[in-house]
A and B are shown apart, each in its own frame.
Chain A
């Protein structure tokens, strides 16, 4: 069988066979598509989630908060998940704001929400000075503006605005606590003055109000000085009574972070510095490493099962096809050609399945992206090229070819004389 004719011949036989056993081919390819898509999705979600949660789109280098868990602090202040570990006095914020090692310090006061979306009290310099990623600051959609400190104005993250139907000019009353409870409605009414442009970050889910508003919210008390203080309308709040839930920090350099870590975490006992933010999140992922390994194991098992389905589907057709192989052999096809036909067919089914796997992968990733975005505001890069996106189909094809070896050997062993015309 001459080279190109050989390849043409094998390809023709494989195509015909796949068409002839279309249903079996389709079901097998489907199972491979599911397996392949699942494997790619598991690895991609793991990688992208790691990147998204540790990669520094948070924009801050460190977070200062109440003494306790660094992870809880980061989850609460950066990703707007979890509850706040507690408050620290405003004076600590002031101290850090003046520290030469700190280039930007922004206070957060949390604890209220609106229909499940968290309200963060802060200062207006978050809009004017803070870059959530290199060279990118918060921007409001046309027709809006940022709030002015000391007012009852609100700026709303794009997702929160969309989910609640809040536009510029709309008013709302915050609710106490993070879980929506109609009985916890504050009397204070806020007016939306701006809707933020989408940032594909947790900030999209946040409702921003001036920090003073959190202090003065009906029912709130302050304990910054250690004693209870109830802010009154029209009266200034003494600085020593003020509290913050977290101070978001941009540092001059890593050395500054190291020094602050020493001072606050190792020597001090009053607060916790979560630094660097990415490392804290990475530790979380490291702790969940065993779960990743189980997921990987499940994914690989799925590939093995898919390979088994190739083996079973082709193996089952071999008996029916023995006559076909005998005819091909009688026409001059070598045993090796028959062997190659089956192995190529296995590889072709695996390839077909792997292509379908991209559809499954895209489906899983799009759904996961939507869920993760809705829950955390973090956006996974669904279409980003990952190693597993080309490696998985290659592995699948190799495994498919391996699975084809057994039926190929069975076909290879076909007794030509026995399966041709009846002996006369």
Chain B
């Protein structure tokens, strides 16, 4: 059984000028429990949109997303919120820590909407990511690398089955990026969570055995590329 299953997922945006552009058109993608995969994609290729669709933050125009056997795309908003809180951990590129809260509170707050508050676990996770002595620090009192660690602890606070990481090393220097990535992978492994990491950073990609090129599975990207080539070559191609 897959922890994540995507089928015929399609999402389009309507530009201000009224033009409709398809950004996600993925026929099939799946991830097994505990599996770790990196997804490579250039800027603007729909990486974040895909993660938002998987997390149920966005609804697709068509297709299915199934998380741990439950079809996210068939649920109402409250159901998606619940499923996300229970099964998904999210690490953002900009960490998205809540500024007014301490490191511990950021992690505890993540638990409140999911499995319930387990402060000991929150403390343990922060200690595991090396932030045990910074529990009461607020994000602005932490370095970028430390904020990233808190974000990782928060993502895993709810014992998620799937961790989605969106360019988690994008704001870190090379050394810190490598360190952060190892940490995310290690903790996901320890917690038994599957990991789907999207990035365009070759250094980050090199650390994964399984790398999927978004362009290979996202037909929207393929179609756009074809259309672009067509325009350059003077031929008129319709987008897919």
**Chain A residue contacts of B85, Cβ below 8 A:** 1, 331-333
Given A1-B113, A6-B112, A331-B110, A420 and B96 touching (CB < 8 A)?
yes
Structural contact, B109 and A329, CB atoms closer than 8 A = no
One digit per residue, 1 when the CB lies within 8 angstroms of any chain B CB and 0 when it does not, for chain A 310-325 equals: 0000000000000110
Structural contact, B48 and A424, CB atoms closer than 8 A = yes
B174 to chain A, nearest CB (A): 19
B149 within 8 A of A: no
> Which residues of chain A from 330 to 359 have a CB within 8 Å of any chain B CB?
330-337
B167 within 8 A of A: yes
**Chain B residue contacts of A416, Cβ below 8 A:** 52, 57
One digit per residue, 1 when the CB lies within 8 angstroms of any chain A CB and 0 when it does not, for chain B 30-45 equals: 0000000000010111
- Complex CA gap A337/B158 in Å reads 18
Structural contact, A17 and B117, CB atoms closer than 8 A = no
- Complex CA gap A327/B47 in Å reads 18
Structural contact, A332 and B166, CB atoms closer than 8 A = no
Structural contact, B114 and A12, CB atoms closer than 8 A = no
A residues contacting B by CB (< 8 A) are 1-2, 5-6, 8-9, 12-13, 16-17, 19-20, 323-324, 327-337, 416-417, 420-424
- Complex CA gap A329/B88 in Å reads 13
**Chain B residue contacts of A424, Cβ below 8 A:** 41, 43-45, 47-48, 93, 166-167, 198, 200
Given A8-B112, A334-B78, A329 and B57 touching (CB < 8 A)?
yes
**Chain A residue contacts of B96, Cβ below 8 A:** 323, 327, 330, 420-421
Q: Can you list 14 A-B contacts (CB < 8 A)?
A: A1-B85, A8-B112, A12-B101, A16-B101, A330-B90, A332-B81, A335-B81, A336-B78, A416-B57, A417-B58, A422-B94, A424-B41, A424-B45, A424-B200
Interface size for B (C-beta < 8 A) is: 42
**Chain A residue contacts of B44, Cβ below 8 A:** 423-424
Given A19-B100, A329-B57, A335 and B47 touching (CB < 8 A)?
no
Structural contact, A421 and B94, CB atoms closer than 8 A = yes
Closest to B83 in A: A332
- Complex CA gap A422/B58 in Å reads 14
**Chain A residue contacts of B45, Cβ below 8 A:** 424
- Complex CA gap A335/B110 in Å reads 15
> Which residues of chain B from 150 to 182 have a CB within 8 Å of any chain A CB?
154, 158, 166-167
- Complex CA gap A424/B117 in Å reads 32
B203 within 8 A of A: no
Structural contact, A421 and B109, CB atoms closer than 8 A = no
Beyond the given pairs A323-B96, A332-B114, 8 more chain A to chain B contacts, judged by CB atoms under 8 angstroms and listed by A's residue number, are: A12-B105, A17-B100, A330-B55, A330-B84, A334-B113, A335-B81, A423-B48, A424-B44
Structural contact, A9 and B94, CB atoms closer than 8 A = no
- Complex CA gap A332/B112 in Å reads 9
- Complex CA gap A421/B94 in Å reads 6
B237 to chain A, nearest CB (A): 25
A-B pairs, top 6 by smallest CB distance, nearest first, are A332-B85, A332-B113, A9-B112, A16-B100, A20-B100, A334-B81
A336 to chain B, nearest CB (A): 8
A18 to chain B, nearest CB (A): 10
Structural contact, B110 and A423, CB atoms closer than 8 A = no
**Chain B residue contacts of A324, Cβ below 8 A:** 98-99
Structural contact, B81 and A329, CB atoms closer than 8 A = yes
B223 to chain A, nearest CB (A): 19
**Chain A residue contacts of B98, Cβ below 8 A:** 16, 324, 327-328
B86 within 8 A of A: yes
**Chain B residue contacts of A327, Cβ below 8 A:** 96, 98
B218 to chain A, nearest CB (A): 13
- Complex CA gap A330/B82 in Å reads 11
- Complex CA gap A378/B28 in Å reads 87
**Chain A residue contacts of B92, Cβ below 8 A:** 330, 420-421
